[in-house]
A and B are shown apart, each in its own frame.
Chain A
Amino acid sequence: MNTAPQAAAAGIPRPTMIEFRDVNKYYGDYHALRGISATIRAGEFFSLLGPSGCGKTTLLRTIAGFEDISSGAVLIDGKDMAGVPANLRPTNMVFQSYAIFPHLTVAQNVGFGLRRKGGTAAEKARRVTEALAMVGLAGYGERAAHALSGGQRQRVALARALILKPKVLLLDEPLSALDKKMREQMQVELIRLQRQVGITFILVTHDQEEALVMSDRIAVMFEGQIVQLADPETLYRRPTSRQVADFIGVMNFLPAKILTEAVGRIAIEVQGLGRAEIDETQAPGPITGGEISVGCRPETLTILYEGQTASDRETPGTVEEVVYYGDMTYYDVRLDGVDSPVRISMRNVFGRPVLDIGTRTRVAWSAGALVLFR
């Protein structure tokens, strides 16, 4: 599933493109952005992920210049953007509604930003043609913009924003209005486009899967704060809080106790699973002093069929719910000695029967796949 560009991790460190320095934003008494500090690197596909109302769109709009900030600073390519209006910033935006000018043709829409740029009419027309070809809309230039389909409007909006070769392209939930098939197709196209043009893309989304698929790095936001900023794999495998773990994918939580803590290793007692020893990197979050629990992803648990043995550890349990997805089956299994069932995802391999509710079974797990929240 994860087709995100890996170049960022492998290549040389990239220079900073955007820097937030303790950015705060108030709407009256409402504290919309609470001390955001982060950097976004040049050429990166960066996502702001969070539930609606978490401030991700507001943060994006502070980059574009549509929102003033109450305190702090937003820097683009090293320059403080305070007092620089949206029309003079090296950023362009793809809006959630696409904001295609309905009274203009496709070509006029795409070429809108060239109006104030130099160059002959012929050269501008050539750039429009190029931009349309880039998004797969060659030959659509003379169409009326309001007669386009959702996916085509999306492409026009992309071409219109990219034609000015901005340093940063801002995408405000650009795929949320498309149906599932179209959305998945556009995700792949956006990734391809971003690699092709090499511009920094900043995507706002509430769809965790979309963020995982597309991004080099993701900032997860809750209530006006960035709670974790990491690459997709780290975010998925090593979430620093239960909140993030819960928001990204499915995570099972089991109550736990810490027995001993030695250098680099933590011994824990997990309800249902028993004693286990984990590496300290498996407890990536700060110590909150709250309830201690252990998280495990559905795909790290495996139901053992007769004759199979666990490669690491196993725990008995009873199947309580079966949800069949075609390629996958999700089982809710109550492990012996645990209050609530855990979710387990199993690939439907040929010849392996789907279990019935009430079946006694054994669940294989590995201590290395656990995450500790404390």
Chain B
Amino acid sequence: MKGGGLRIYTILYLVFLYAPIVLLPVFAFNDATIISFPLRGFTTRWFAALAELPTLHQALKNSLIIAVSSSVLATVLGVFASRASTRYEFPGKGGLMGLIMLPLVLPEVIVAMSLLMVLLGIGIDLAIWTVILGHTLICTPFAIAILSAAFQSLDRSLEEAAWDLGETRLSTFRLITLPLVMPGIISSLLISFTISLDEFIIAFFLAGSEPTLPVYIYSQLRFPKQIPAIMALGTILVALSVLLLTTAEYFRRRGLKKTGAKDTGGFL
């Protein structure tokens, strides 16, 4: 049958991609300390165990602070950059936007290492805000990618019409521009939040004595009896990530529908 080979390839590819993730909840609910088959029975005690790990709670708190701050910062910077790049022509625009988008393809370990050297070089102590700095750096290109699409699908004459009808530049932005790009802003916030929450390398290099959740998880892998609890934690994180990304995409598509624009591609 034609395409049979391709079909097998596709199935194998998907199994390889998702089987490990599917195993997370399987072992999170398995009533045994050792991660191996056969399964021993159903339990929720690993989830209960999560509640009794104060260092985990601290790491979670750090991660949330970092993720919220860097997603807000990245989105605000993204709004400025996207608005400027879609509305105005200025010398060196192409090169400038390229440089801003570069962290998207730069190896994170390079970014993390160079940031660490600079910070230590000028004698700044590592703390939560240094991670926020690093995460803002890597989230901003994503924010710009999403927001540029939102600003581009916005008909320029909408803003002119509001201006023409008596609104100032500022109130036009508030009454027309902002509501119409709001789905893009929400989508940018959610995606930046997810990226920051999951990010390991920069957090590992720059966190100092304040580990984030991924760094904490990595450190716990050395203790075999903690592994089922980590599996439970992983299950929660996967569920949350999927939820966030789906919400982000929902808002992006709703925004397109609202302005009647064509779908020019997104992350999902």
| A interface residue numbers (CB < 8 A to B) | 64-66, 85-88, 91-93, 95-97, 99, 101-103, 112-113, 115-117, 146, 160-161, 164
Contact A101/B164 with A146-B258, A146-B259, A146-B260 known, Cβ cut-off 8 Å: no
User: Which residue on chain A has the smallest CB distance to residue B165?
Assistant: A113
Pairs A-B, 4 closest by C-beta atoms: A113-B165, A99-B161, A99-B157, A95-B157
Contacts of A65 in B (CB 8 A): 164
Contacts of B163 in A (CB 8 A): 66, 85-87
Contacts of A91 in B (CB 8 A): 164
By the criterion of a CB under 8 Å from any partner CB, how many residues of chain B are at the interface? 18
Contacts of B166 in A (CB 8 A): 87-88, 113, 115-117, 164
Question: Would you give the shortest CB distance from B135 to chain A, in whole angstroms?
Answer: 32
A88 to B162, CA, bound (A): 12
For residue B176, CB closer than 8 A to chain A, the reply is: yes
For residue B125, CB closer than 8 A to chain A, the reply is: no
Question: Would you give the shortest CB distance from A65 to chain B, in whole angstroms?
Answer: 8
- Establish whether residues B167 and A87, one from each chain, have CB atoms under 8 Å apart when the complex forms: yes
Question: Would you give the shortest CB distance from B157 to chain A, in whole angstroms?
Answer: 4
A–B pairs, 20, beta carbons within 8 Å: A66-B163, A66-B164, A85-B163, A86-B160, A86-B163, A86-B164, A87-B165, A87-B168, A93-B160, A93-B161, A97-B155, A99-B155, A99-B158, A101-B161, A115-B167, A116-B167, A117-B166, A160-B161, A161-B164, A164-B166
Contacts of A112 in B (CB 8 A): 162, 165
| B interface residue numbers (CB < 8 A to A) | 155, 157-158, 160-168, 176, 179-180, 258-260
Q: Looking at the complex, which one of B155, B160, B167, B258 makes contact with A66 (CB distance below 8 Å)?
A: B160
Contacts of B258 in A (CB 8 A): 102-103, 146
Contacts of A113 in B (CB 8 A): 165-166
Contacts of B158 in A (CB 8 A): 99, 101-102
Question: Would you give the shortest CB distance from A108 to chain B, in whole angstroms?
Answer: 10
Question: Would you give the shortest CB distance from A189 to chain B, in whole angstroms?
Answer: 21
Question: Would you give the shortest CB distance from A200 to chain B, in whole angstroms?
Answer: 16
Give the most central of A64, A92, A102, A160: most B CB within 10 Å.
A102
Question: Would you give the shortest CB distance from A74 to chain B, in whole angstroms?
Answer: 15
Contacts of B167 in A (CB 8 A): 87, 115-116
- Establish whether residues B157 and A96, one from each chain, have CB atoms under 8 Å apart when the complex forms: yes
- Establish whether residues B260 and A102, one from each chain, have CB atoms under 8 Å apart when the complex forms: yes
Q: Looking at the complex, which one of B160, B162, B168, B180 makes contact with A102 (CB distance below 8 Å)?
A: B180
User: Which residue on chain A has the smallest CB distance to residue B172?
Assistant: A87
Contact A92/B259 with A97-B155, A99-B158, A101-B176 known, Cβ cut-off 8 Å: no
- Establish whether residues B259 and A102, one from each chain, have CB atoms under 8 Å apart when the complex forms: yes
Contacts of B162 in A (CB 8 A): 101, 112
A117 to B165, CA, bound (A): 11
Question: Would you give the shortest CB distance from B215 to chain A, in whole angstroms?
Answer: 42
Contacts of A101 in B (CB 8 A): 158, 161-162, 176
Question: Would you give the shortest CB distance from B226 to chain A, in whole angstroms?
Answer: 50
